[in-house]
Amino acid sequence: MPLPMSYLKIAEDLAARIKSGEYPAGSQLPTYNELADLYSVSFSTITRVIGVLRLTGVVVGVPGRGTFVPEKD
């Protein structure tokens, strides 16, 4: 069984998917649980991934709603 990706590799992959238009501006990302299943990692790993992406401005969190790709200015 292959080793799961590191949280930084997952963050890079998600950022690339956003940049490619797989998740366009204004779209909602899958839930943390869905992302954990997609990448075969734990919920806590996805929490770290989203934290990195939020710090770098790739995504924004909306409390009670989810994680979104920000609209372009």
3-class secondary-structure state, position 61:
strand
Q: Domain limits at 25?
A: 7-68
Q: Is residue 1 part of a domain?
A: no
Residue 13 neighbours by CB under 8 Å, 6+ apart: 5, 39
10 Å Cβ neighbour count for 57?
8
User: Per residue of the chain (73 residues), what is the pLDDT tens digit?
Assistant: 677 789 999 999 999 999 999 999 999 999 999 999 999 999 999 999 999 999 999 999 999 999 999 997 6
Q: Is residue 2 part of a domain?
A: no
Contacts of range 57-61, beta carbons closer than 8 Å, 24 or more positions apart: 58/14, 58/15, 58/18, 59/18, 59/29
Q: Is residue 73 part of a domain?
A: no
10 Å Cβ neighbour count for 69?
22
In this prediction, residue 3 carries a pLDDT of: 74
In this prediction, residue 4 carries a pLDDT of: 76
Q: What is the CATH number of the domain that holds 13?
A: 1.10.10.10
Tally of domains within the chain: 1
In this prediction, residue 38 carries a pLDDT of: 96
| pTM greater than 0.95 | no
